[in-house]
Structure 1
Amino acid sequence: MMTFSLRADHVSPQRSTLHLHGRLDAMTFGQFDAAAADVLHQMATGSTVVLDLSLLEYISSAGLRSIARIRKAMRAREGHTLLCNPQPQVRKVFEIVKAVPVNDVFASVQELDDYLDHMQRKIVDGLGEAD
């Protein structure tokens, strides 16, 4: 089972890059939140946080909430959050969440996570686009 790690590059008050690696899920989001908070405390008003997702292999609803918290924190200081280089299965999760009011479609967080897990596994296993 892949775990999660975070590497911060180019940390400055104006722009910082966080490289996410592995799985951002219910087991690892706390580690991500704590590490991201350390970086966010150093960010100036109007600054930018870049989340490099090129090595992020999986994201659950817990991971999505963590990223939403970063976006909210950056907006509160008139800053920006940019997400770059998502793998296809992670990109699909963001597309689903953007296009679908999740609370209206899934009966529970567990049902949502089961769906996201199935969809990401299909893409990783090379079965093409997930439904």
Structure 2
Amino acid sequence: MISGTGPALNWTDTVTFWRGLWSEPVNHSGGPWTEVVASQCASITPIDPVIITPHDVAEAVLRAPNWKTPGLDGLHHYWLKGFVVCHTMLARQFQEALNQKSLPSLFTTGITHLVPKDQDTIDKIP
């Protein structure tokens, strides 16, 4: 569909839809399939431990786009590229997450931005 040619966006319905998706806690139900997957994975050889260094963080940050929407920390990659003193702390935090075999909720939390495609939509935003 070409922007602006479809039915008008109902702002309330859109917000309700996305809020329903992202605001509800996830309830994963275990079932017999989990045992099947576990048995299939039993023969997989574990990989060697991964060590994340400040150099690894620096390389990843340098490849990242400068001004894409930041995460919950609010920092754009542009700033992380210049704050090299943060690379050691970030490497340590990533390493701790790997060693604990669980991720802090901050690592899996995101932000959804509704981007209006035309002026008519923008005019309807409260």
Larger radius of gyration: 2
TM normalised by structure 1 equals 0.25
Whose helix fraction is larger, Structure 1's or Structure 2's? 2
Q: Greater strand share, 1 or 2?
A: 1
- TM-score, normalised relative to structure 2: 0.26
Of structures 1 and 2, the one with the larger relative CO (CA 8 A, separation 6+) is 2
